Amino acid sequence: MTKQRKAATEHKAIHLAIGHLSDADIFDATGKSTSLYRQCSDPDLSSHNISFSDAAKLAAKLIETGNAEHFSEAFGAMVRAGSGTAAPAIDDVDTIVSTLNGCQMLAETIRASRCPKGPSGHIRTPAECEAIISAGAELIAEVQRVIHALEGERSCNVHSLNKKEAS
């Protein structure tokens, strides 16, 4: 089963990078294997960490291939946590793009599982089902993070149009 990784962490950023980039892209960018970065994405393996330089190279490769990179967000969260400062307000455009990327990743995973040339043809394998569940869970987690952040931004002077909440 896929491990859950906290949002805005280096582990989550690496995990998402592995999901978006091919093994060749990862090797081309860093000269290192995907398996090393799988280990780096495991929050329970403190012996495997990604270097700042490798994170920058993977972020650049993600941008080059038209994918969103999450290393900047993870780095910012680490700096804020270390300094004790509050998280900035979320950027609505980045939020929409990130959510759409999650939808695209989920759709691609589902399409790939139904490929007649895939491992089981039109029948999904347990690994393909797990990949779909993982992509869906990541999308749900991203949407929940956005909702939580927006709820935190909502001020007391915003009034609900819902009759039950207004009473």
Every domain of the chain and the residues it spans: 1-88, 89-154
| Contacts by residues 70-77 (CB-CB < 8 Å, ≥ 24 positions apart) | 70/8, 70/12, 70/13, 70/16, 70/17, 70/98, 71/10, 71/13, 71/17, 73/8, 73/13, 74/8, 74/9, 74/10, 74/12, 74/13, 75/10, 76/8, 77/8, 77/9
Residue 140: its pLDDT value, please?
Answer: 80
Highest mean pLDDT among 12-16, 52-56, 100-104: 52-56
Q: Compute the distance between CA of residue 134 and CA of residue 164 in angstroms, rounded to an integer.
A: 35
Which comes out higher in pLDDT, residue 39 or 98?
39
What pLDDT digit, counting tens, does each position of 37-84 carry? 999 999 888 898 999 999 999 999 988 888 778 888 888 888 888 888
What pLDDT digit, counting tens, does each position of 121-146 carry? 667 778 778 888 878 877 887 777 77
Residue 147 has pLDDT above 80, yes or no: no
Residue 51: its pLDDT value, please?
Answer: 93
Residue 118: its pLDDT value, please?
Answer: 61
pLDDT band of 103, cuts 50, 70, 90: confident
Residue 68: its pLDDT value, please?
Answer: 78
